[in-house]
Amino acid sequence: MKRNKLVIRIADNVKPARFEITPEAVNNFFNHLEKTLEGVPPENIFNFDETNFTDDPSRKKCIVRRGLRRIERKSVHSKQAFSVMFWGSATGVYLAPMVVYKALNVYTSWTEGGPLNTAYASSKSGWFDSRAFEIWFFSVFLPHARTLAGTKVMIGDNLASHFSEPVISCCKRENIRFCPLIPNTTHILQPLDVAVFRPTKINWRSILDNWRMESRSTGCIPKDTFPQLLSRVCHKLDTEHLISGFAACGLVPINREKVLQRLPGCKILTSDPGGEGTLDVLNESCLSILKQHCAPSSKPSRKSRGKKVIPGKPVDENQLEKEVNWVCQYCEQAWNNDDNNRWIVCDICDPAFHLQCSGLKYKRKQYDEIDLDNIHFACDDCS
C-alpha cells in the first residue's frame, strides 16, 4: 500500500440507483445545462432543497478512563422532525426559508420569531407536497425573482411534486427556467446537499443542546418554539459554503469534470505534476470482474408517469402531458383503458403499483379517499 500510495477509507453506503449514475447521463445533463445557463448572471441562478431538522442531538465524543467499552450519555430526544426548504443564489445569498409542520392547520403562534419573510405550511405527513411547494414558489421565490432583471434559473430535485402546472406556467410567463437535476444525484449535483446542510446540521445540534439546557424541557420541541431555533440556525449560514457548493457541483462556473471524477469507475485526476494527468487504478482483469458483478442492471426501463422531464433543460408545459402505460411491479398486470384500479408510483425509482399491491396500510373505506398526488410513497427497494 505504501509503494502504490494507497490509503484506507471508510466507504459510505449508497443505494444502487445512486451508484449506477453513468458518465453519459452526466454529460447529457451538462450539455443541456450549458444552454440553460447561457447569458444568466450568477445572482440569478438559484438552488433549492428540502431538509429536515430532527429532535436528535446525535452522539458526542467523551473523555473517559481507559478500559471502558460502552459509554452512555443522558439526553432527551424524540423522533420529531420539521421539514424546511432552503434556497440561495450562486453568489452565496440565502433567501427566506419555508417550514412545513406535520399538522392539519398552521396557527399564528407557530410563525412568530422565525427568520424574516419565512413562509409556513402544514401537511398530514410533514413532508413537502405539491401544495406546499406551490406556496413556497408563489409566496417566497417569485416575489424575489421579480426584483431581478433578465432570465432566472432555479435548480432543484427531479420530484413530481415540484412540476405542477401552475408553477411551470408561471415560470414561462416570468422568464424563469426550471432546471431539474438527474434523479438520484443530489449527493454530487445539489449545492445545498454537498456543502451547506452538513455544517448546518452541526450548528442545529449545538443550538438544540443549548436550548434543552436553557429551557429544561424534557418533551418534544414545541411548534411555537421551532421558528426561534430556526432563526438561530439561519444566522450561522455561511456564504462561502453555498458558493463552494455551486463550484464543487460544477454548476457555477460550469465544470463537468468536478462531477465526472466522483463517479465510480471513472478515471481519477492525479495530483502528481509530472504524471500524465490521469491514473488507471485497476487493470483490465479487475475491471472485467467488477463490471460482471457490480455493473448497472440491464433490466428494461419501466414506463411510468408519462413524459419525463429532461435533466439540465428547462421544464416545458408540454412535458406535463401524461401518457400512462403502467405495469404493476407486484402482480405484473398492465394498465388499460378499462382499468378501475387506483395506481401509485414510487417517488424515488418511479415504478407503478396498484394501490392494493403497494403495501400501504389503509382502511377499506379509505380506498377512494386517499390523495395519491400528495402522499409520500417509496417501494420496498427504496424505503
Rounded Cα–Cα distance for residues 286 and 226 (Å): 52
- pLDDT in the model for residue 321: 53
Does residue 154 form part of some domain? yes
Percentage of the chain beyond pLDDT 90 is 46
| Residues 328 and 254 grouped into a single domain | no
User: Which residues on neighbouring strands pair with residue 50, listed in sequence order?
Assistant: 85
- pLDDT in the model for residue 306: 46
Q: Which among 258, 283, 299 is the end of a domain? A: 258
CATH of the domain at 334: 3.30.40.10
Does residue 197 form part of some domain? yes
Does residue 219 form part of some domain? yes
| Contact (Cβ atoms closer than 8 angstroms) between residue 98 and residue 84 | yes
Positive or negative CA dihedral for 195, 197, 202, 204? positive
> Using alpha carbons only, what angle is made at residue 309 by residues 303 and 312, rounded to the nearest 5 degrees?
135
CATH of the domain at 192: 3.30.420.10
pLDDT tens-digit readout, 265-315: 665 444 444 444 444 555 677 777 767 766 655 544 444 444 567 888 888
- pLDDT in the model for residue 339: 65
Over its C-alpha atoms, the chain yields an Rg (Å, rounded) of 23
Q: CB count, 10 Å around CB of 379?
A: 20
pLDDT tens-digit readout, 196-232: 999 999 999 999 989 988 888 878 899 999 999 999 9
Does residue 263 form part of some domain? no
Q: Is 169 helix (H, G, I), strand (E, B) or coil?
A: helix
Taking 70 as the pLDDT cut, the residues of the chain under it are 265-283, 290, 293-308, 317-325, 335-340, 365, 373-374, 383
C-alpha neighbours within 13 Å on the C-beta side of residue 73? 13
C-alpha neighbours within 13 Å on the C-beta side of residue 177? 22
Does residue 280 form part of some domain? no
- pLDDT in the model for residue 98: 96
Full residue range of the structural domain in which residue 364 is found: 324-383
| Residues 360 and 249 grouped into a single domain | no
- pLDDT in the model for residue 280: 54
| Residues 244 and 160 grouped into a single domain | yes
Q: Which among 203, 233, 258 is the end of a domain? A: 258
- pLDDT in the model for residue 11: 82
Does residue 294 form part of some domain? no
| Residues 50 and 147 grouped into a single domain | yes
- pLDDT in the model for residue 20: 79
For residue 100, give the nearest of 118, 117, 112 by alpha carbon.
118
- Model-level pTM? 0.73
| Contact (Cβ atoms closer than 8 angstroms) between residue 233 and residue 196 | no
